[in-house]
Chains A and B, each alone.
Chain A
């Protein structure tokens, strides 16, 4: 389970203080599929980065499975990201020097998994997203939808309980977007918690639950 307590993030813009998140209290149960929607600048990406342990709050805390992440060191946060969370980005963010297979295997590399085991798992994951014939292609040789499917396979490498997507369909056409959401729905049926940020109501409709954000606050 993920929950936040008085989660606040303040950015300083010169003299002014901007509340990207303002006392957010939120609960997401295991196995839920949550869409976070809201206009740009409402703080939805900041919230996602906090939950994903990529960023640290100004005050308040994010609890993942009861662990107060505000108390963890950078290395411990890296550990949480590696074990519990898989990321999918709008820009796919694949490493362009590595081919699809190596990109998927990369999180396992940082987890210290041996080469053979790593590549075997990466092959399975690519097979699951239907890219078995694109394994040795570099990201630049893949379409947007294919790249995002590689990114999903990468997010699944360490078999995390939580998948986080920041506008995962933002850079693909709508048909591909629905295909990607279908994959995420499938992952949700396997029991994983899915949290997706989007501003597209159609995409949000795939989720079981929608949380609306405005001016750094969540309104259910």
Chain B
């Protein structure tokens, strides 16, 4: 066996540049699979990892998801909130509202999203994971105070907004008491472009009484699903509609995210599979050319006593060695690529995650490469082994 490997290695080396190109062809396919899958896992872990710290949370929205679109059916009333507060198993209910407002700073006007809620609860959600760059968080009795997201402070206006600067929100004067740090992936969309007010101030400034969503915390995580159903039932009966409210537990959100990532991974693996098919055609081509070039050599080997089996195994060994090398190189490139993608995503897109390289993915990549090598090497190898010795010897 050792001798066969040595012989296969010789003839691979003999065609060095072509062998290297074939190895690269496979490596690209495997690298694509490894990188894409690792990036997918990394994103999933980053997001689900942060979400799992909120497993006692139920989010209630006055509407439902139809496919990927949110259809709002109205807003919650004080009675809804009071009903929920009376339910068993619920630790806290927070009413939240949001809406766009016109914000003026040093004579520049921008439409910005306003988020209003109970100061303590809002703080519980965003303060710990994101943190303040400067200033302080909202207090329950604050009225003309606001905390702004990082992009509101730095990107939205020509001049940077600092603590104690004044903003006009829909014409009303507010003092900036705090500025958020730049948020991580999960929170970036929620925090960075928003202005945070107390619920009372938000309702006043947007001249609305609407409660756009509720955040409910439960005592026991195991009961979350049951409580979520009960919440939907109560609110639906308050509004006389069958499907007025949707209550989502963190668990079900995690599941949904998981589904999204499974689909994403499927698509990514599909793309990589196409790359692999192309690579395997490359191997087949290389091996066929190698067979043709060595027709004479095969004839000589047969004349001096090689059996078809010997020739078949030599050529198969050659193609699987080439693809093994391709698989290993592909894994290395794939891991590097995954790191680079997560770095770029981190700095350019503000999505922070670490690509998660799993041993299973690496082993799978090498296995796939070997499989491709053996399969696409089989036809040329068989062709080589079936040659008539006298014709092969005569071939020049």
Contact = CB atoms under 8 A, between A and B. Distances in A.
A83 B305 CA distance: 8
Contacts of A155: 304
A110 B310 contact: yes
A95 B11 CA distance: 11
Q: Which of B10, B11, B304, B393 has the most CB of A within 10 A?
A: B304
Contacts of A82: 304-305
Contacts of B297: 95
A111 B305 contact: yes
A55 B300 CA distance: 13
Interface stretch (A73-81, A171-179, A212-220): A73-81
B323 interface: no
Given A55-B390, A97-B11, A81 B304 contact: yes
B302 interface: yes
B14 A110 contact: no
Given A93-B296, A95-B300, A109-B3, A78 B307 contact: yes
Contact of A107 (B2, B7, B14, B304): B304
A88 to B, nearest CB: 10
B307 A75 contact: yes
A136 to B, nearest CB: 14
B310 to A, nearest CB: 5
B380 interface: no
A69 to B, nearest CB: 13
B306 A110 contact: yes
Contacts of B304: 81-82, 86-87, 106-107, 110, 154-155, 157
Interface in A85-130: 86-87, 89, 93-95, 97-98, 106-107, 109-111, 115
A44 to B, nearest CB: 14
Categorize the interface residue count of chain B: 20 to 34
B303 interface: yes
A89 B307 contact: no
The secondary structure that dominates the B interface is: helix
Interface string B300-321: 1111111111100000000000
A158 interface: yes
A54 interface: yes
B252 interface: no
B302 A115 contact: no
Contacts of A111: 305
A98 B301 CA distance: 12
B238 interface: no
A49 interface: yes
A52 interface: yes
B1 to A, nearest CB: 11
B251 interface: no
B389 interface: yes
B316 to A, nearest CB: 16
Contact of A81 (B3, B14, B303): B303
Interface string A170-191: 0000000000000000000000
Interface of A: 49, 52, 54-55, 74-75, 78-79, 81-83, 86-87, 89, 93-95, 97-98, 106-107, 109-111, 115, 154-155, 157-158
29 contacts: A52-B303, A54-B393, A55-B390, A74-B308, A75-B307, A78-B302, A78-B305, A78-B306, A78-B308, A81-B302, A81-B304, A82-B305, A83-B305, A86-B304, A87-B304, A93-B300, A94-B300, A95-B297, A97-B11, A97-B14, A106-B301, A106-B304, A107-B304, A107-B305, A110-B304, A110-B305, A111-B305, A154-B304, A155-B304
Interface of B: 2-3, 7, 10-11, 14, 296-297, 300-310, 388-390, 393
Given A83-B305, A95-B300, A106-B304, 9 more contacts: A55-B388, A75-B308, A81-B303, A81-B304, A87-B303, A97-B10, A107-B304, A110-B307, A115-B3
